[in-house]
Structure 1
């Protein structure tokens, strides 16, 4: 699993202009099962996405398509972790070390 930490590097008006295409990108990856949860940071300096993928290369390819990233409006920090314990709702994503 991956934690994708987004940090805005552009003013919020530019972020807001890109938001519809970013949400469409999110929706596509929820539909294909890559994204499990997401939302804005508080205060609004970026966002967080919890994602699943076969490997880091695959998740980097997903990140590269985000309109925020493509338009240099945000940077990403990608943290991979092994989800050895989950809620029952995420049991299918539980991993072995």
Structure 2
């Protein structure tokens, strides 16, 4: 499975928690998603450095925020399907979530 196919498959299966996700699908989706979000932040920072109007910065930031919130749905779905693929129960997500909350707090 190639990167574009994996990314589009993850978005199409955003609310499909049944089935399995391959390692390639999981890895490519996370890589492309990271690049998209990081690229958005770089674009906002570059626009701020070159003193773009504040309304334009707000528009860019709002678009990035919408993308980040929207990408949470396919991300959650692909994690559940990947855990099922490796033989774990979906409750392992709670462990990962609690560890991330403890490490960030």
TM over 0.5: no
Alignment TM class, shorter chain as reference:
under 0.3
**TM-score normalised to structure 1 length:** 0.28
Compare the two structures and name the one with the higher helix fraction: 2
**TM-score normalised to structure 2 length:** 0.26
Compare the two structures and name the one with the higher strand fraction: 1
